[in-house]
Chain A
Amino acid sequence: MHNVRELIMKKLKLLLMLRRAPYDGVYVPEALDAALVAAAFEMRVSVLLLDDAVFALLTDQRADLIGRRTVGKLLRALPDYEIETLYVCADSLSSRSLQTSDSIIPVCLLSVGEQAELIGNHDLVWND
């Protein structure tokens, strides 16, 4: 049996890789819920948006029109949980004709190589 407290003190690093579009089912909000609980357990959590998940960054999301919570607002709340840096796949953004200036929050763009390094720097990876 591990000493749980000791392991928590090690501050495990969790990387959440989100790939699906923000309103594709409830996948993104549920994944972010898990990230927030992990952060509350003092894990160090990073979030990386890839593929259609980059659409979550867009300003002027009107999720109320489809009876949903706005995913952009959830992303904006991440710093409240000490999830300070939001990483975004540069290729995913540019291939959808989007720019960082389209984003509701500041992001850190990463090349594929840099993403590999980011994954290597984490103890746990959520990749669904």
Chain B
Amino acid sequence: MKFTLIVHSAPHSGQGSHTALAFARALFTGGHGLQRVFFYLDGAQNALATRVPPQEENDILVGWQVLARDHGCELAVCIAAALRRGVLNQEEADRYERPSGNIADPFVVVGLGQLIDAVIESDQCITFVN
């Protein structure tokens, strides 16, 4: 089956993004397809390259990056949600005259239309909150 995952929670404010990452790994193990993980609302903070988690905690960013590298799924962040939370790629940082971009590779900034596209194209769509 083709899945789309939607992440609404920030890495540090709940279990949602960690559960989503574990679920994504399980999907690939189970032979399912996952074309895109879509980060919306506070989930946009998953794309920050500048977070420094304490040593004894897993760095979820690395988890997302390995997932994207190994399985080629897209990590898409809603641009409106990202801007509002100070998550910027270099282009947006330049546009809004902010000191620098801070989005991690390989996250891409997209419009909400991409979310709807992904929902339409997949068999199952699962949202992770809290």
Contacts and interface: CB of A to CB of B under 8 A. Distances in A.
Interface stretch (A35-43, A97-105, A109-117): A35-43
A27 interface: yes
A14 to B, nearest CB: 8
Interface string B97-130: 0000000000000011101110111000101010
A23 to B, nearest CB: 15
Contacts of A38: 116
Given A37-B112, A37-B115, A37-B116, A30 B125 contact: no
A43 to B, nearest CB: 7
Interface size class of A (residues with CB under 8 A): 20 to 34
A44 B81 CA distance: 23
A77 interface: no
A53 to B, nearest CB: 15
Q: Is the interface of B mostly helix, strand, loop or mixed?
A: helix
B60 interface: no
A127 B120 CA distance: 18
Contacts, number: 43
A8 B117 CA distance: 9
B36 interface: no
Contacts of B125: 124
Contact of B127 (A8, A40, A41, A126): A126
A34 interface: yes
A41 B121 CA distance: 13
B112 to A, nearest CB: 4
B125 to A, nearest CB: 7
Interface in A20-36: 26-27, 30-31, 33-34
A65 interface: no
A17 to B, nearest CB: 11
A66 interface: no
B8 interface: yes
A2 interface: yes
Contact of A128 (B8, B111, B116, B119): B8
A4 B120 contact: yes
A7 B84 CA distance: 32
B113 A41 contact: yes
13 contacts: A2-B121, A4-B117, A7-B121, A12-B120, A26-B84, A30-B40, A31-B41, A34-B115, A37-B112, A41-B116, A41-B117, A124-B119, A127-B127
